[in-house]
Amino acid sequence: MDKLLRITEIFYSLQGESNTVGLPTVFIRLTGCPLRCRYCDTAYAFSGGEKQTIPAIIDQVDQYKAKYITVTGGEPLAQVNSHELIRQLLDKGYIVSLETSGAIDISSVDNRAVKVMDIKTPASGEMDKNIYQNIQYLSATDQLKFVIADDTDYQWSKAIIQQYDLASRCEILFSPVMGKMNPTLLAENIINDNLPVRFQIQLHKYLWDDAQGK
């Protein structure tokens, strides 16, 4: 019997963040998430969705004739069959990235996939869900993301980077919470402190005002 995944949406757009920002990408948004971050912008993916087989999902992806695929959520790893989906996409030659909260073990994720993993900051309200052991499973091709809502988040993130020597592990992303953290101020703080991070804003929010399916 084919393995099933509950899917909220599959759509084709520009990557809005990470180090492939701006590149045409197919997004596979899985339903469900065990976290409830205060700034979450995809709460519509917490429930609902439609159960689909992995071959049916890949058939939809193939129609876009894209190179880049992002498996996202919700929290994709909350559905165990997400690992098989990622593996089959990689076997077909796609460049696959996985967006994960860092609150679920990533040790079994296919090493060919690019892992984009959050470390939850204090303002998220979910800081206690961070699994810091996940850091050891990140490689130089992966990315760690800090979503910054205020100066407390910023100072805390600086300390975590130093504590775990993250700059030697993989690329680090700092992203301001839209409407909470002034992006110019965050950029200036990064420059003034000479942090080894990539500043990013969520491109899709500026282009499409965070519309679903964009």
Per-residue pLDDT of the chain (214 residues; tens, 9 = 90+): 679 999 999 999 998 888 888 899 999 999 999 999 999 989 999 999 999 999 999 999 999 999 999 999 999 999 999 999 999 999 999 999 999 999 999 999 999 999 999 999 999 999 999 999 999 999 999 999 999 999 999 999 999 999 999 999 999 999 999 889 999 999 999 999 999 999 998 776 667 676 555 5
CA distance 36 to 161: 24
Q: What is the pLDDT of residue 19?
A: 86
Q: What is the pLDDT of residue 211?
A: 57
Q: What is the pLDDT of residue 214?
A: 54
- Spell out the residues 6+ positions from residue 110 whose beta carbon is closer than 8 angstroms to its own: 83, 86, 87, 90
Helix 54-63, helix 82-91: angle, nearest 10: 40
Q: Which CATH class is domain 4-208?
A: alpha beta
Domain spans in the chain, listed from the N-terminal domain onward: 4-208
For the full predicted model, state whether its pTM sits above 0.85.
yes
Using alpha carbons only, give the angle 56, 57, 62 rounded to the nearest 5 degrees.
95
Per-residue DSSP letter, 172: E
How many CA atoms lie within 13 Å of 152's alpha carbon, on the beta-carbon side? 9
Q: What is the pLDDT of residue 202?
A: 78
Helices (H), 5-138: 54-63, 82-91
Using alpha carbons only, give the angle 109, 111, 113 rounded to the nearest 5 degrees.
80
Q: Which residue has the tokens 């593996």?
A: 87
